[in-house]
Structure 1
């Protein structure tokens, strides 16, 4: 997939795949959950828009695997980002799903529900301890037991903050907020001290924010959303206070990552998520900001930041289960993940890898400053976005949040409406 966070909805997959659930258990199509046999035969491996930039890397991985396991042959297929969900759904419906597939959690969910994703807690549990706990849990599906993809690469982003703006507001520039309570207090003070000229945030709360605040997002059965509980209402009420005080930028209701970044660049906003690329941009376009830049973890009241996780799924109906599981594990093992992470700005999901000097030692470059900060936070990070939370649901939540901030609905009414809309969309998926 693209290295940046994909925006493809999984609705297309669900629409065609879920009816296949009536086909029965995962081995009805001739596959087997037994991965203990001899690793041999031909397997197909599908990635998501990676060939253009990483062809030599993947060809090398495949050649090494085939050398380690004589008698195997891996056919690599790379699909473009555009229409990837549609391609998976068509292959699933037509019985042509590759043996090993690059997926995100929301794409694997309907495949698992239809019995097309191999349960690795049964077929590959011996590998579980090789991965970070939060990463392994990233491909579990509410209402189901099991794990349905090997965790592959991770991503997250630290927060940048403007030390000068913190100091001008009488706040300690070396002690940025780490919890939501600290954030709200600092933001209100900054708005007051600047007479509403400087907002601390430029974005409305997303589902990840509710998760980081400690709001239960969904019931255990995976049948209903729950972010309209008292804690969820509390968070949105706090954001309403920020909005009214201009501690949340007035344009946050329509903000994009680009517009939020511009606000931070012009020092109209004190905090913003970002990457090493942003640091380079600050250095060129806003040298004063660059000199005052601080880097801190994402705001969280749970002690766990948010991670984005990509996975590698094994087709439950593959005729080559031992080879498919072995290859999926091979692609995602510590050695291969470290090698990949040194080619592109992602992070390995394997236990212990984030302790490598590459992720812990500074060398004075902007890229390393951000990499070290992000890697430190990932060790116990969580993928807060529910795997069943679609792009349509994100839109419903955003629209209702906007109504609450504008005073058109109470926070409780807004979240009740959002939950109803999301539950309706959830029922349509099933």
Structure 2
């Protein structure tokens, strides 16, 4: 059996380049595409203009190999590949839509589904229920618009979150790596226990919008037109964090706006654990504090009662409503996102597939056995939590701004400037104002 692949700086740097957080620019209608649409065309004939994000430099051989393989089987199809820098994809696609000269298939991120939903073809016309069943339901369902139309399909992602625990620092507590915290209540109880035992801060966990989602609290109404979080469940959950922040059990720097460089962190051992954090944070520990890295126990992140692991976002494909050749584009996308081609891509960089069948490949199954190094354990845990993963994207058209608004109000609450009621009410008002703006 081959050894599990370690999480390397090279792999995660490349993966980070593949998963840009794209801001939503411009205004487009969030309603389904209206007006006449181009004929579907032949499934296996004609030109297909295909846009990807940030892949030309490092993965041209892989992508050209797929193109050559596909066109050798379907000689009447020509794939015209266009690779777009990550920072340009939103503005470039907006411009293409405005001009009417759109690609036939386009790669964008799930964070921008709300922005482009009204300009994408309903893929239900080209993908059968069996076709869509090839992807994980938790990754496919969020890619529907408010009317239930499938406006995109999943491609690849960076995995869900993980939990990291410094076993040496946690020795004065009851922490057991074999039975780690499973819920937010468990995590806060461990933080309190650690603080009482040592007088030191335990964690940076605060109730951000992402944390509320992970705890099964709905943020948007079903039609995505209004905020849905100003309720008793959210207030009670948010309120549980205040005593721990006041006491110092939650680190004072947890409210920093620079979430990638919090002053108290695992690397400097000014906190003892992170019960829910992005997987790439382990790379920072491995690089900057190797002596700490060896003490880290890797676990699934804490969740709500549903046991769902929220994914920050994913790379997806859609077919613009004005595509000249949507049927051929759809067949091409089925090929690109097949389990076999996803596995081949995952072998090149530390990314994860959207097709459950891909995880049956030995490349993944061998990684779930005897994972003792923290990096290996991280990969194994991400694979094991995949069946219960879901895309956390809101589909609002401006997810990033909404999250910033919410998290700013939470900081105001934790620092005593507002009550929990005030913070949630103000966040709700600001969200509803933002959501009412035309897209």
TM-score with structure 2 length normalisation? Answer: 0.88
- Paired with 2:34 and 2:326, the residues of 1 have a C-alpha distance of 18
Work out whether residues 253 and 263 of structure 2, in 8 Å CA contact, stay in contact via their aligned partners in 1: no
Distance 1:183 1:274, change over 3 A: closer
| Aligned counterpart, 1:321 | 326
The structural deviation recorded for 1:262 is: 6.3
Instruction: Give the match for residue 369 of structure 1.
Output: 377
- 1:375 is displaced (CA, Å) by 1.3
> Quick one: which of 338, 345, 348 aligns to 1:343?
348
State whether residues 280 and 366 of structure 1, in contact with CA within 8 Å, keep that contact through their aligned partners in structure 2.
no
| Displacement after TM superposition at 1:356 (Å) | 2.8
**Tell me, what secondary structure is at the counterpart of 1:165?**
coil
DSSP 3-state at the match of 1:130: coil
User: Aligned pair in 2 of structure 1 residues 58, 261: CA closer, same or farther (>3 Å)?
Assistant: farther
User: Of 178, 181, 190, which aligns to 1:177?
Assistant: 181
**Where do 4+ consecutive residues of structure 1 move more than 6 Å?**
none
Structure 1: which 5+ residue stretches go unaligned? none
Q: 1:261 to 1:120 in 2, by over 3 A?
A: farther
Deviating more after overlay: 104-113 vs 420-429? 104-113
Distance in 2 of aligned mates of 1:367 and 1:339 = 21
Matching of residue 194 in structure 1 with residue 198 in structure 2: yes
Q: CA 1:31–1:422 in structure 2 vs 1: closer, same or farther (change >3 Å)?
A: farther
Q: State the alpha-carbon separation in 1 of the partners of residues 206 and 168 from structure 2.
A: 24
Q: 1:429 to 1:246 in 2, by over 3 A?
A: farther
Shift in Å at residue 152 of structure 1?
0.5
Which structure 2 residues correspond to residues 214-229 of structure 1 after superposition, within 5 A? 214-229=216-231
Match of residue 300 from structure 1: 303
1:166 & 1:178 partners in 2: Cα distance? Answer: 16
Q: Sort the Cα spacing of 1:279 and 1:333 in 2 relative to 1 into closer, same or farther, 3 A.
A: same
CA deviation after TM superposition for structure 1 residue 127, in Å = 0.5
SS in 2 for 1:74: strand
Q: Secondary structure at the match of 1:306?
A: strand
The structure whose residues are more often helix, as a share, is 1
Map Cα deviations across residues 110-145 of structure 1 (whole Å, 9 max, x no partner): 3222xx31212232124111111111113122x221
List per-residue Cα deviations over 1:94-114 (Å, max 9, x = no partner): 11120000011232323222x
Distance apart, 1:255 and its partner CA: 5.0
What secondary structure is seen at the aligned counterpart in 2 of 1:428? coil
Secondary structure of 2:262's partner?
Answer: helix
Give me the whole-angstrom Cα distance separating, in 1, the residues matched to 2:117 and 2:320: 9
Q: Which has the higher contact order (CA 8 A, sep 6+)?
A: 2
How much does 1:276 deviate? 7.0
Match in the other structure for 2:165: 161
Structure 1 residues 358 and 38, CA, compared in 2 at 3 Å: closer, same or farther? closer
Matched, 1:407 2:416: yes
Q: Which residue of 1 aligns with 2:20?
A: 6
Contact 1:11/1:390, CA 8 A, preserved across alignment: no
Name the stretch that deviates more: 386-395 or 297-306: 386-395
Q: Which position in structure 2 is the counterpart of 1:266?
A: 268
CA contact (8 A) 2:393 2:399 kept: no
Deviation at 1:55, TM superposition (A): 1.1
Q: 1:242 is matched with which residue?
A: 244
Q: 1:73 to 1:6 in 2, by over 3 A?
A: same
Using a 3 Å threshold, how does the CA distance of structure 1 residues 187 and 221 change in structure 2: closer, same or farther?
same
Q: Does 1:128 align with 2:136?
A: no
Q: CA deviation at 1:240?
A: 1.4
Q: How big is the shift at 1:278?
A: 5.1
2:107 touches 2:315 (CA, 8 Å); kept in 1? yes
Please report the RMSD computed on the Cα atoms of aligned residues, expressed in angstroms: 2.4
Report the Cα distance in structure 2 between the residues aligned to 1:346 and 1:391, rounded to whole angstroms. Answer: 22
- Which position in structure 1 is the counterpart of 2:293? 290
Asked whether 1:425 is paired with 2:434, we answer yes
Paired residues of 1:203 and 1:260 also in contact (CA < 8 A)? no
Please say if residues 404 and 410 of structure 1, whose CA atoms lie closer than 8 Å, have aligned partners that are also in contact: yes
* Aligned position for 1:117: 120
SS in 2 for 1:190: helix
Cα distance in 1 for residues equivalent to 2:209 and 2:282:
27
Cα distance change of structure 1 residues 187 and 403 upon mapping to structure 2, 3 Å threshold: same
TM-score, normalised with respect to structure 1: 0.90
Which position in structure 1 is the counterpart of 2:34? 24
- Structure 2 unmatched runs, 5+: 1-14
Change (3 A) 1:144 1:416: same
Count of residues in correspondence between the two structures: 416
Match of 1:152 in 2: 155
Report how far residue 428 of structure 1 moved.
0.9
